[in-house]
Amino acid sequence: MNIIVSFSGRCGGNCDAIAKYISSGDDCLLFMRELSTQPCANCSYECMSGPCKYRDDGTYAFFEKLSLADKIFFIIPMYCGNPSALYFIMNERCQDYFMQNQSQYENITKKLYIIAVYGNADEYPDFLNLFARQYDFKNAKEHILGLERHKYKQKMKDFLLDAEDVKVKLNIFTGKSKTQFPS
């Protein structure tokens, strides 16, 4: 079973549509906006020495679920030059899980694949590198796919999946198609 997570704040946008497009069979589709949105705030860093005071809000259970997946796909939109706040909230809250389950970090990150949705790589050349640095992927190209709206002359209201090339890229990236990306 693969777990596919949309980090968009908007229901039914590009990230959700891509999540649905790449899912099949018994895959588990999750929308971070419906899971925990409790940021690391109003606490005394309890997670450093014991359970996070918000542990039961679903974030810890989310990481337990990830540990059992075959592959994990995070679909992350760019908001104001960075990954959406929903991504950062999850990212900070992961400390509670990994402090208790250190061996799971490698297990989870080696099966993690990022699909990043944004406007233009020329304008934001470092966006994809942010994920490469964070997870220290051995082969970043295998783990990170950037989808730029400007390549398809799309505006905010357009849908990336309307471009056939985007479907081809997703099929290759997710392993639906056996073709390799040109190096």
Q: Which residues bind ligand FMN (CB under 6 A)?
A: 8, 10, 13-16, 77-81, 117-119, 156
Closest CB 63 distance from ligand FMN, rounded Å = 23
Closest CB 28 distance from ligand FMN, rounded Å = 19
Listed residue (14, 16, 17) closest to 31, CA to CA:
16
Closest CB 167 distance from ligand FMN, rounded Å = 16
Closest CB 101 distance from ligand FMN, rounded Å = 30
When the beta carbons of 78 and 89 are compared against ligand FMN, the nearer one is: 78
When the beta carbons of 10 and 133 are compared against ligand FMN, the nearer one is: 10
**Do residues 54 and 39 lie in contact, with contact meaning Cβ atoms separated by under 8 Å?**
no
**Do residues 8 and 79 lie in contact, with contact meaning Cβ atoms separated by under 8 Å?**
no
**Do residues 75 and 8 lie in contact, with contact meaning Cβ atoms separated by under 8 Å?**
yes
DSSP, res 13: S
When the beta carbons of 14 and 174 are compared against ligand FMN, the nearer one is: 14
Closest CB 141 distance from ligand FMN, rounded Å = 21
When the beta carbons of 108 and 145 are compared against ligand FMN, the nearer one is: 145
Separation of CA 69 from chain center: 14
When the beta carbons of 41 and 80 are compared against ligand FMN, the nearer one is: 80
Per DSSP bridges, beta strands 72-79 and 3-6 are parallel
Contacts of 47 (CB under 8 A, 6+ apart): 95, 96, 99
Rounded to whole angstroms, the Cα distance separating 116 from 145 reads: 6
